[in-house]
Homo-oligomer: A and B are copies of this chain.
């Protein structure tokens, strides 16, 4: 058993976590969240999304958020940019790194972004060129890597295909997303083994949802397979629309607690991270979905 000494946590709370919130969240609260996270030592924060406000109204103010956050040296502040128009808006807002996403399942791609997997990939080609010309790094997400709400099981070879296409197109890292949280540790390891034939393990990240409580076990399994980048969401913000009331994104605090216990360095302070998560939970008026946060609050 050899585990990585250092893990990079990609904090997706401000974007993936908040994007489906129906209630208005002020720019000041979003800025505060991002600044709280960087102050806690988080080195990579997905701050917002440059998408049509028609589809994701909560992210409409992402340019404003970027303009107002304190940009701490050494921290990457990224945004989702699903198409060329989004990329151009992101560049105009001074964003230095963007993320694109594709699905490993044809049915999910059609229902979620209204086009086939191949069509979605083709659309990224001009985006990648503009990003390259502007010195903007691009990270790729693949969704439904361990299950699809419409197709059920997803073939690891299908995941490997999409991951390879994104990687060959120029994405510097591919985040494998268990969108519906149905993955378990053995399947996670098998997936990484298959995908890593096409994309090196040090270019892969794990993005696990805790809908079925499996996220930490899957992260531990991924660590054993050599992954050292994981996406997570402070206070477990966000969730899967297909599992109402159940949690979605794995809570950053819970991941950090495990990594701390494993002696793996992240540069993040747990107490400060718990405080950041509690503050945004209070803003949203909802229970903190991090078990570590709840346990510490009960104990304290």
Residues of A within 8 A of B (CB): 1, 3, 181-187, 189, 210-214, 216-217, 219-221, 241-248, 251, 254, 257-258, 260-263, 287, 290-292, 294-295, 297-299
Name the one of B210, B245, B254, B262 contacting A185, with C-beta atoms under 8 angstroms.
B262
Pairs across A and B, CB under 8 Å, 19 listed: A1-B189, A181-B295, A184-B257, A184-B260, A184-B262, A186-B261, A211-B295, A212-B254, A212-B295, A213-B290, A214-B257, A216-B216, A217-B219, A217-B220, A242-B299, A243-B295, A243-B299, A244-B298, A246-B298
Say yes or no: A291 contacts B185, CB within 8 Å: no
Q: Say whether, besides A186-B261, A217-B216, A258-B184, A241 and B294 are in contact (CB < 8 Å).
A: yes
Nearest CB on B from A218, distance (A) = 9
A173 to B258, CA, bound (A): 28
Name the one of B219, B257, B298 contacting A245, with C-beta atoms under 8 angstroms.
B298
Q: Say whether, besides A214-B261, A254-B213, A257-B214, A220 and B185 are in contact (CB < 8 Å).
A: yes
A213, A219, A287, most chain B CB atoms within 10 A: A213
Say yes or no: B217 contacts A287, CB within 8 Å: no
